């Protein structure tokens, strides 16, 4: 992976696996569905390729680290997955009225709440792992039409560590969730891991 070593990739994948696993537990309680997430696949990508897995639209969740680490990471969800999560958040069975039609501010608000719970749990897991307080800001959620998305306005970093997970939510979702760390942030996480040894 050029200047990103295999050891760094393995460490970032394992850290993400633990933190996303903790997030899945929180999501399980919140949505009332069994959540399973597979072992991550880690790669290095340029800015213009970070959304290459998505054809038309997606939902981007941005989380800013405010203590212990500094920078932001992103989670990327498919539009249909965001709709199912919203339907579950609204007390339905995941096949209700919120799974059809266009993405609305209500969808984004519901996804933001779900991701807030997930990312808070992830930060707690990382704090325990590093024995170092990790805090985050509440996530921001954005609905993106891929061919209209202006990277230069939203993302200043050029290189990202991309982590692909397969995610299942009950019998409703069998999909991929992507986590993106700017390269410098991923390297900082790796160094924190090294210091704990």
pLDDT for position 153: 65
Do residues 54 and 146 make contact, with C-beta atoms less than 8 angstroms apart? yes
DSSP bridge partners of 142: 60
Confidence category of residue 33, pLDDT binned at 50, 70, 90 = confident
pLDDT digits (tens, 9 = 90+) for 82-114: 999 999 999 999 999 999 999 999 999 999 988
Confidence category of residue 1, pLDDT binned at 50, 70, 90 = very low
Q: Please state which of the ranges 1-10, 63-72, 122-131 shows the lowest mean pLDDT.
A: 1-10
pLDDT digits (tens, 9 = 90+) for 153-168: 667 788 999 999 898 9
Helix, strand, or coil here: 45? strand
Do residues 112 and 83 make contact, with C-beta atoms less than 8 angstroms apart? no
pLDDT for position 56: 92
Count Cα neighbours of 172 within 13 Å in the Cβ-side half-sphere.
22
Residue 19, token pair as written in the block: 């933190």
For the chain, domains (ranges, CATH) are: 6-195 (3.40.1550.10)
pLDDT digits (tens, 9 = 90+) for 180-190: 999 989 988 98
The DSSP string of 126-188 is HHHHHTS--EEPPPEEEEEEGGG--HHHH---SEEEEEEEEEEETTTEEEEEEEEEEHHHHHH
Confidence category of residue 29, pLDDT binned at 50, 70, 90 = confident
């Amino acid at each position: 992976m050029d200047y990103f070593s295999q050891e760094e990739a393995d460490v970032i994948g394992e850290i993400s696996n633990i933190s996303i696993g903790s997030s899945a537990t929180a999501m399980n309680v919140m949505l009332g569905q069994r959540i399973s997430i597979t072992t991550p696949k880690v790669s290095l990508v340029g800015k213009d390729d970070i959304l290459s897995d998505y054809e038309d639209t997606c939902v981007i969740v941005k989380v800013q680290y405010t203590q212990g680490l500094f920078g932001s990471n992103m989670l990327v969800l498919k539009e249909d997955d965001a709709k199912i999560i919203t339907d579950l958040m609204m007390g339905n069975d995941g096949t209700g009225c919120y799974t059809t039609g266009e993405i609305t501010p209500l969808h984004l608000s519901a996804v933001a709440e779900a991701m807030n719970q997930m990312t808070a749990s992830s930060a707690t897991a990382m704090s325990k792992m590093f024995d170092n307080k990790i805090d985050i800001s509440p996530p921001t959620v954005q609905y993106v039409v891929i061919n209209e998305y202006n990277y230069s306005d939203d993302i200043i970093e050029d290189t990202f560590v991309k982590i692909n997970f397969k995610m299942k939510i009950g019998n409703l979702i069998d999909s991929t969730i992507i986590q993106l760390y700017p390269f410098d942030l991923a390297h900082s996480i790796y160094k924190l891991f090294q210091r704990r040894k």
